[in-house]
């Protein structure tokens, strides 16, 4: 799953994980 070989796809997954992390962090701060 992590070894997809598509750099763009991995980049989108990292971006999605970052967005989810930021939303969770904002939720816990508030």
Confirm whether pTM is higher than 0.75: no
| The pLDDT of residue 1 is above 80 | no
User: So what's the pLDDT on residue 3?
Assistant: 55
* Mean pLDDT on 17-28: 93
Conformational region of residue 6, where left means phi above 0, alpha means psi within -120 to 50, and beta covers everything else: beta
Burial 1-30 (b: 16+ CB within 10 A, else e): eeeeeeeeeeeeeeeeeeeeeeeeeeeeee
* pLDDT tens digits along 2-18: 555 666 677 888 899 99
């Amino acid at each position: 799953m992590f070894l997809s070989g598509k750099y763009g796809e991995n980049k989108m997954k990292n971006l999605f994980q970052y967005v989810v992390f930021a939303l969770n962090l904002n939720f816990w701060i508030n």
